[in-house]
């Protein structure tokens, strides 16, 4: 497909293995919000492990935008036969289509399967080329009779491009922890940092000291329950995670899914590929009791470039941790909180990580000082009447999200005397 006016060419590839991994990762590293989940190795592992394939309802179409033979834009698109594993829920839209005799599936999503982590989805060398890529993808979807296109957990530049091309924006809320104590605004709501953010916490006790008495007491009680049950923790990073550790983690992960009546999205082969190709991006916490492992939580890590806010425009390194997977073979009161929040937060403080993202949903995370942030997706629907109806729905839903964020902003987990 070629546009004669600007010589951009779209290539559509049927597998991540057809994409040059070096060129893909180089383009990713130029993006404002890269994550390890958009690396070629991660996407390739989803495919080769059988986790995200035609057979599981994720048909890959990697779309490449080229200029003079060079990749200047790219995205990972999947044709979907269902809405599972997306974490942006459109089941009501699918039902409404069905009730009116209109096919909703197959649809197209630009997303990282099973991974609700915000970041760049539409990779490009420039804002103008990102917009070209967005338009060409919409044209491609329309030409193939797909009902809709959904760009999930967008980065800020993606949102701008999607908005400029007429896509509908949808918002939801996640909870992220920042390694800096917030201050209270004059309005009574709280904000993180500001122009002169507070320094990072010195240690976990310093973090606890920033919290209200109620929250601080609750966390100490929860941690004491785990310690009194005789549970200790060890952690392993990167290549120090042994094959036996990976096996044990998967045993916990699979069992927890099965206990909830579902098969796990990700196979053992996927995690083996992570151990082989991206070991530096994984941190494992193992809970032990009486010398036996009983639970595990797996955290992804990233050290991505970001532009610091300052007068000199210098670059800084943002080290981010992402809460991803967990499982347990034994039940211990408050073990989940210790394995998935307190151990990772203490590690982030000790190792100078700036942010810990807690994953999709979970208002209970606020009690652990993970604060609400707005995340966004973008949507295009073929049918004009449905596009209009969804647009009106999203306007109302967006107002509800704003009210929800305002309400959460009044419920600070931090001490009231942090006010400037």
Q: What percent of the chain has pLDDT over 90?
A: 85
Q: For residues 18-47, give the mean pLDDT.
A: 97
Per-residue pLDDT band for 239 (boundaries 50, 70, 90) equals very high
Q: What is the reported pLDDT for 361?
A: 77
Question: Residues 125, 73: contact at Cβ < 8 Å?
Answer: yes
CA distance 365 to 108: 32
Give pTM, 2 decimals. 0.92
User: Do residues 63 and 78 touch, judged by C-beta distance below 8 A?
Assistant: no
Whether residue 186 is predicted with pLDDT greater than 70 in this model: the reply is: no
Separation of CA 394 from chain center? 21
Q: For the residues 392-415, what does the mean pLDDT come to?
A: 94
Give yes or no for residue 172 having a pLDDT over 50. yes
Domains of the chain (ranges, CATH numbers): 8-175+375-408 (3.40.630.30), 201-353 (3.40.630.30)
Mean pLDDT score, 34-51: 97
Residue 130, SS3 per DSSP: helix
Q: Phi then psi for 178, rounded to 5 degrees?
A: -115, 140
Tens of pLDDT along 116-125?
A: 999 999 999 9
Closest among 163, 145, 165 to 155, alpha carbons compared:
163
Q: Distance between CA atoms of 70 and 77, rounded to whole angstroms?
A: 20
Question: Could you tell me the pLDDT band of residue 417, with boundaries at 50, 70 and 90?
Answer: confident
* pLDDT at residue 161 in the model: 98
Q: What is the pLDDT of residue 418?
A: 55
- What pLDDT score was predicted for residue 336? 96
- 188 or 258: whose pLDDT is higher? 258
Q: Mean pLDDT score of the chain, rounded to an integer?
A: 91
| Start-to-end C-alpha separation, the chain | 57
Query: Average of pLDDT values for 123-145?
Result: 97
């Amino acid at each position: 497909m070629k546009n004669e006016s600007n010589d951009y060419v779209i290539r559509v590839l049927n597998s991540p293995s057809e994409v040059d991994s070096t060129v893909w990762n180089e383009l990713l590293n130029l993006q404002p919000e890269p994550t390890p989940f958009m690396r070629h190795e991660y996407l390739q592992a989803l495919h080769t492990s059988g986790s995200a394939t035609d057979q599981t309802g994720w048909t890959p179409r990697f779309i490449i935008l080229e200029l003079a033979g060079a990749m200047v834009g790219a995205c990972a698109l999947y044709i979907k036969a269902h809405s599972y594993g997306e974490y942006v829920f459109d089941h009501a839209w699918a039902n409404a289509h069905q009730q009116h005799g209109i096919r909703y599936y197959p649809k197209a999503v630009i997303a990282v399967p099973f991974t609700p982590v915000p970041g760049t989805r539409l990779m490009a060398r420039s804002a103008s080329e990102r917009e070209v890529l967005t338009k060409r993808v919409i044209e491609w979807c329309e030409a193939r009779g797909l009902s809709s296109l959904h760009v999930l957990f967008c980065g800020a530049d993606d949102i701008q491009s999607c908005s400029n091309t007429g896509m509908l924006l949808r918002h939801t809320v996640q909870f992220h922890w920042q390694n800096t104590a917030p201050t209270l605004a004059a309005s009574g709501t709280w904000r993180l940092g500001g122009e002169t953010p507070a320094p990072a916490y010195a240690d976990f006790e310093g973090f606890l000291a920033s919290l209200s008495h109620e929250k601080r007491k609750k966390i100490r009680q929860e941690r004491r329950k785990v310690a009194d049950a005789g549970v200790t923790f060890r952690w392993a990073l990167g290549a120090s995670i042994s094959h036996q550790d990976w096996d044990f983690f998967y045993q916990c992960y699979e069992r927890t899914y099965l206990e909830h009546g579902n098969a796990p999205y990700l196979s053992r082969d996927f995690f083996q590929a992570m151990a082989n190709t991206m070991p530096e991006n994984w941190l494992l916490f193992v809970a032990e009791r009486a010398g036996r492992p009983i639970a595990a939580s797996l955290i992804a890590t990233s050290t991505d470039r970001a532009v610091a806010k300052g007068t000199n425009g210098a670059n800084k390194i943002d080290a981010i941790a992402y809460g991803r997977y967990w499982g347990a073979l034994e039940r211990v009161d408050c073990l989940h909180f210790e394995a998935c929040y307190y151990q990772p937060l203490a590690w982030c403080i000790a190792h100078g990580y700036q942010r810990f993202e807690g994953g999709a949903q979970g208002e209970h995370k606020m009690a652990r000082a993970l604060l609400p942030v707005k995340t966004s997706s973008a949507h295009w629907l073929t049918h004009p009447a449905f596009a209009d109806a969804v647009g009106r729905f999203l306007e109302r839903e967006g107002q509800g999200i704003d009210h929800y964020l305002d309400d959460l902003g009044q419920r600070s987990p931090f001490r009231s005397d942090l006010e400037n």
